[in-house]
Amino acid sequence: MSASRPSVAVYKFSSCDGCQLQLLNLEDEILDLAQAVEIAYFLEATSAMQPGPYDVALVEGSVTTPHEIERIKGIRRQARLVVALGTCATAGGIQALRNVADSKEYAEVVYPHPEYLDFLATATPISDHIRVDLELWGCPVNKTQVLEVISALLQNRRPNLPQYSVCLECKQRTTVCVLVAQDIPCLGPHTQAGCGGICPSVGRGCYGCFGPTVLGNFDSLVPLLQSMERYPGETRRLLSHVSNCAPAFQAAAERLAGEEN
């Protein structure tokens, strides 16, 4: 880091801005954060911009256009450390639903003049295009985890992030397991904690927005999920949701697609 306050730049790619809003939602902590770092570029918060290079770049969103490929490469050249912020930046996000469909057909259905669009056939995480120093998952990210990551960078240490699955979070909030009690397909057993077990708490299965756990055994989970499918192919669709660029989810979904064909 620089001798003075480290400079931080926050960038948006194809996304909903929700992960940037989590930074603003730090509320009381953001005052301390603003004293510890120099927020040099953050258009969601201020129109003031300071030129790079920067110590840290926080990047939200997936790469979905040719222009964004060049833009993310430029950011990499300007930043000492790059942090991928949220599910879009780490695994494609909502935009990555085009990866398991026909993006051209989507464009023709949604837009009256799709010929004006310049987009890629797939939406990809930023790590597909540049070296990323750290990935922080979530849709949106957990604001406490964001604060921990920034603190760790300031202190030159590894971030202390949860190393357990969403199942433990469900137990902590006394949520009855939807997988066991209601036969609802759920990726919680093999999804990294961080959301607080939100989806199971309202009676729906986890769809993996915080990404797969390191030790997830999909060879055992997938047959279980298939046994309780409410419509054909539900397990494959669950694995092909907003985190479909995550290698573990992607590999499991591709195996299922091969079996279905």
* 27 has a pLDDT exceeding 90: no
Q: What is the CATH number of domain 7-154?
A: 3.40.50.700
DSSP annotation string for the chain: --SSSPEEEEEE-BS-SHHHHHHHTTTHHHHHHHHHSEEEEETTT-S-B--S-EEEEEEESBB-SHHHHHHHHHHHHHEEEEEEESHHHHH--GGGGGGGS-HHHHHHHH-S-GGG----SS-B-GGGTS--SEEE-BTTB-HHHHHHHHHHHHTTS------SBHHHHHHHTTPPPHHHHS-----GGGBBS-S-SHHHHTT-----TT-B-TT--HHHHHHHHHHT-SSTTHHHHHHTSTTTTSHHHHHHHHHHHHHH-
Nearest to 176, CA basis, from 189, 167, 187: 167
Specify the pLDDT at position 174: 97
Mean pLDDT of 107-128: 95
Contacts of 195 by beta carbon, 8 Å cutoff, 6+ apart: 138, 142, 166, 169, 206, 209, 210
**Would the pLDDT of 3 be above 60?**
no
* Per-residue pLDDT tens digits for 169-191: 999 999 999 999 999 999 999 99
Give the C-alpha separation, 52 to 114, whole Å.
36
- 217 or 177, which is more confident: 177
Q: Where are the domains of the chain?
A: 7-154, 166-260
pLDDT at 74: 98
Q: What span, in angstroms and rounded, lies between the C-alpha atoms of 12 and 18?
A: 10
Burial class (CB in 10 A: 0-12, 13-18, 19+), 260: exposed
Closest CA to 136 of 148, 128, 124: 148
Q: What is the pLDDT of residues 92-116, one digit of tens each?
A: 999 999 999 999 999 999 999 999 9
pLDDT category at 31 given cuts 50, 70, 90 is confident
The reported pLDDT for the residue numbered 2 is: 47
* 183 within 8 A of 62, measured Cβ to Cβ: no
215 confidence band (pLDDT: 50, 70, 90): confident
Predicted TM-score (pTM) of this structure: 0.92
Mean pLDDT of the chain: 94
Give the CA distances from residue 236 to residues 136, 181, 183, 229, 254, in Å, rounded to whole numbers and listed in that order. 24, 22, 16, 10, 8
Are the CB atoms for 199 and 205 separated by under 8 Å? yes
d(CA 257, CA 114): 29
Other Cβ atoms within 10 Å of 41 Cβ, number: 21
* Angle CA 208–196–239, to nearest 5: 5
